[in-house]
Structure 1
Amino acid sequence: MAAEAAMHIDLTTTWVGILSLIIFVVGYYFIAAEDKYHINKAKPALFAGTLIFVLIGLYYAFNGLDGSHLHHEIEILIVEIAGIFFFLYVAMTYIEAMIDRKVFSTLRYNLVSKGYGYRKLFWITGLLAFFISPIADNLTTALILSTVLITIDARNKEFLVPSAINIVVAANAGGAWSPFGDITTLMVWVDGKGDFVDFLYLFPAAVLGWFVTAFLLSRFVPDATPPFHSDEKEEKIAPGGKVIMALFAVTIASAVLSHQVLHLPAMWGMMFGLAILKLYIYRMSREVRYDSEGVECPEVNVFSFIAKIENDTLLFFFGILAAVGGLHFLGFLEYFTALYSQFGPTAVNIGVGFLSAVVDNVPVMSAVLKSSPDMGPDFEAHAQWMLVTLTAGVGGSLISFGSAAGVGVMGKLHGIYTFSSHIKLAWTVLVGYIVSVAVWFLQFEVLHLH
């Protein structure tokens, strides 16, 4: 009975709820002020996330509550975090492997040697992000293309910052119209709120919202060309690079099939892909390889790739998801769902986009799905579920770490793409967000094209 009662306790007004909220806000402040205090964002996130659950555990112990419910919720949270953690782990390892095999430096050479200016490169990377993310997911896409940016020009912030924002917005917008383009769309799809083809109807709102933001951002990109000398040595993909690219595509497909067909977590397919990469690298290390000039290539070790991944990004995700999971357990994330009956689903679903930017779209969408609010009659409910899918996905772009894609790019462009640099141009993202919602309203509510 104690465990049953504990499941229904609202801890938001208790000392543990109030203290946990204060810890989250303080931690969030230090994450946002990373440039000011020079504290890596992983440190406050990890501290807040772990401390909140320690306090919850102490509250249960002091009040003699049955901790079985807490233990059960922690296990669920660990599974959710592990899914994202290992998905990132494998994606980052593949990216480091492709960097080592000169895949991105070759792409950079091919783009820059053609005389493309910063603005043309801005549009090329944005378009690639928008159309790759529905297949490869928004986070992986953002990691790959942010790596391309840094190889084009590692110092020009006037080019890098708008382009980084463009990639984050494009990846999130592209992921919104595909069931497996983002974690939130996947959650909605798996929960049966929409069929596969239903998400495709979000394409007009997603593409127009991104285009408006990209157009505004392009005004801040310098009208010049990246540094390139005619005598610059031509870059070519190192031996094994093309095979690794193919294995990465197979790994992404394996992740999708694992979830859709085999009913396994997506990260299971990613780890299978990592196993294939390790086997291939082992085979490479057993062979003597030569580059285009006949020079023997050094031995390749997969652990050298793993050693280079952005561990602070992985730890940030662990910390922030744990912190938000703690607030959800305490009952804070359940409050906004009661607003549906008071303000109507349209207004609240638009607000979800802003909330997902601040808190994180995954737990916000989880709270919406678990509470299952009244979205209206069946036909209207379908339109509203598509709206919240759109806003939760696109809304994460409003703040640099409001989405997995943004956090990934912050890790890759450390010290360049930051919270403060994003905020200065966040108004362009807001304009695009408003356009996306307006297109949804015209399509779904006025023309009823869905």
Structure 2
Amino acid sequence: MHGMDLTTTWVGWLDLVVFIVAYLLVATEEKYEINKAKPALFAGTFMFMMIGVYYALNHLDPAPLHEEMTKLIEEIAEIYFFLFVAMTYIETLIERGVFDALKFKLVSKGYSYKKLFWLTGLLAFFISPVADNLTTALILSTVLFTIDKTNRPFLVAGAINIVVAANAGGAWSPFGDITTLMAWTAGKGEFVDFLYLFVPSIAGWLLTAWLLSFYVPKGEPHFDAKTEFKPVIKDGGMAVVWLGAFTIFIAVVGHQFFHFPAMWGMMFGLSLLKLYSYSLAKRKHRTGFDVFVNMKKVENDTLLFFFGILSAVGALHYLGYLHYIHHLYDLLGATTANVGVGFISAIIDNVPVMSAILKSSPAMGTDQWMLVTMTAGIGGSLISFGSAAGVGVMGRLRGIYTFGSHIRLAWTVLAGYILSIALWYVQFEILGLY
């Protein structure tokens, strides 16, 4: 921090108003039919520009501001490129017909909507600790959408279930979520400590899923064996699946053992995908694919929304607003403050919130650091764009999974959140099992 508190200056108030207005526009994107990336990008860039103007008018040294923005660009770039590669892989898998084949497999078995709802949720919970919550949510929401593009009740309940399951699954793994990764690399817990969060995480998700399952329509997706042609995965489709899995593996291993940013491994994976597409095109009687063509289909609005919202929160942090978090701990005590962090991370992205807590570093034991890791991860599910997984799915199921459709069922997420905290308390504070 630059050592100045700008919250009571004109730029502090102006930026706060800009943030709130942008936030409201993001929340009401259905009503005003404005894409969430537009207000987020405007707020994120404008807020820092106003701080620059304030510095110039008051003849202040711009070096700390420049330093803060450089650091922020680095943080955003890590997430931006990570997402970009994950989305490029998913678009390539769609183009190769992998998801159509998966959909055929699921639908031809005659599974009901309820069974498909539980199946995609379970997969999300157990894939996200290994991959990460965002990639998992993107893949499974794509599967959901290919199963039935028109059944809104099924898609909305299924999307919320996937987001909650991916976030809950990511909370008990050191690399399942960006926030757990931050806490682990900051030395707030050993690898094994995070695994103790398994019981609170899975129980909270199961309660939410059970409540959501009442909103899943009866019956099964339309399937007629005579008219439904069995889709054939195009050349190299399965190789792309394995390349994608290897890319995530390299990103995780590179980050853990060589301290590379996670996106470095992802970009390496993108280079492998490009080299593979080249070798495939050179072979006779094989249909190749163009990675650049698949890149065109990537949801750039989701990437720009991330850039905007992280920049805007970065500006709030620079102005001094996030430092009120430290006072929160002094005032309320660790447990109450950490439970509150879950609600804050639903409104403000959990990455900068966790970053602010790690920067202010209140004196807490492993039990409390595990609690804040869990609440920051799971609490992000309370609002559709409170987590990376939610933002990704909003881009994937545009116009179906929205802020409004999520809020109507957010009480189911809250019930699971409360249960997770209660179980954490019993396990960590009463029984001392950690």
Q: Same fold (TM over 0.5)?
A: yes
1: CA distance, partners of 2:285 / 2:147: 28
1: CA distance, partners of 2:353 / 2:150: 36
Which of these residues, 39, 52, 68, is aligned with residue 73 of structure 1? 68
2: CA distance, partners of 1:275 / 1:111: 32
Give the C-alpha shift of residue 261 in structure 1. Answer: 1.2
Which of these residues, 44, 47, 51, is aligned with residue 49 of structure 1? 44
RMSD over aligned CA atoms reads: 0.8
Q: Is the 8 A contact 1:340 1:374 kept in 2?
A: no
The equivalences for 1:195-206 within 5 A come to 195-206=190-201
Which of these residues, 243, 248, 255, is aligned with residue 252 of structure 1? 248
Match status 1:31 vs 2:26: yes
Match status 1:130 vs 2:125: yes
What SS does the corresponding residue of 1:401 show, helix, strand or coil? coil
Q: TM-score, normalised to structure 2's length?
A: 0.99
Kindly provide the CA deviation profile for residues 103-122 of structure 1, in whole angstroms up to 9, marking residues without a partner as x: 11100000000000100000
For 1:156, the equivalent position in structure 2 comes to: 151
The equivalences for 1:107-126 within 5 A come to 107-126=102-121
Match status 1:391 vs 2:369: no
The equivalences for 1:408-427 within 5 A come to 408-427=392-411
Match status 1:446 vs 2:402: no
Unaligned runs of 5+ in 1: 1-5, 291-296, 376-380
Match status 1:227 vs 2:222: yes
Give, as a single letter, the amino acid of the residue that structure 1 aligns with 2:430. Answer: V
Which deviates further from its counterpart, 231-240 or 408-417? 231-240
Kindly provide the CA deviation profile for residues 34-93 of structure 1, in whole angstroms up to 9, marking residues without a partner as x: 000000000000000000000011011111111111111101000000000000000000
2: CA distance, partners of 1:403 / 1:364: 11
Give, as a single letter, the amino acid of the residue that structure 2 aligns with 1:264. Answer: F
The equivalences for 1:329-408 within 5 A come to 329-375=318-364, 381-408=365-392
1: CA distance, partners of 2:237 / 2:324: 50
Which of these residues, 190, 193, 196, is aligned with residue 185 of structure 2? 190
Kindly provide the CA deviation profile for residues 19-46 of structure 1, in whole angstroms up to 9, marking residues without a partner as x: 0000000000000000000000000000
For 1:294, the equivalent position in structure 2 comes to: none
1: CA distance, partners of 2:3 / 2:230: 65
Kindly provide the CA deviation profile for residues 292-338 of structure 1, in whole angstroms up to 9, marking residues without a partner as x: xxxxx4x4111011011000000000000000000000000110221
Give the C-alpha shift of residue 289 in structure 1. Answer: 3.3
Q: Is the 8 A contact 1:179 1:185 kept in 2?
A: yes
For 2:298, the equivalent position in structure 1 comes to: 309
For 1:179, the equivalent position in structure 2 comes to: 174
Give the C-alpha shift of residue 151 in structure 1. Answer: 0.2
What SS does the corresponding residue of 1:226 show, helix, strand or coil? coil
What SS does the corresponding residue of 1:370 show, helix, strand or coil? helix
Kindly provide the CA deviation profile for residues 223-268 of structure 1, in whole angstroms up to 9, marking residues without a partner as x: 1100111211011221100100000011001101111111110000
Give the C-alpha shift of residue 374 in structure 1. Answer: 2.2
Unaligned runs of 5+ in 2: none
For 1:378, the equivalent position in structure 2 comes to: none
Kindly provide the CA deviation profile for residues 347-381 of structure 1, in whole angstroms up to 9, marking residues without a partner as x: 00000000000011000000000001122xxxxx1
Give the C-alpha shift of residue 146 in structure 1. Answer: 0.5
Identity level (%): 65
Which deviates further from its counterpart, 280-289 or 86-95? 280-289
Q: Is the 8 A contact 1:239 1:289 kept in 2?
A: no
2: CA distance, partners of 1:339 / 1:402: 20
Q: Is the 8 A contact 2:381 2:390 kept in 1?
A: yes
- Find runs of 4+ consecutive structure 1 residues off by over 2 angstroms: none
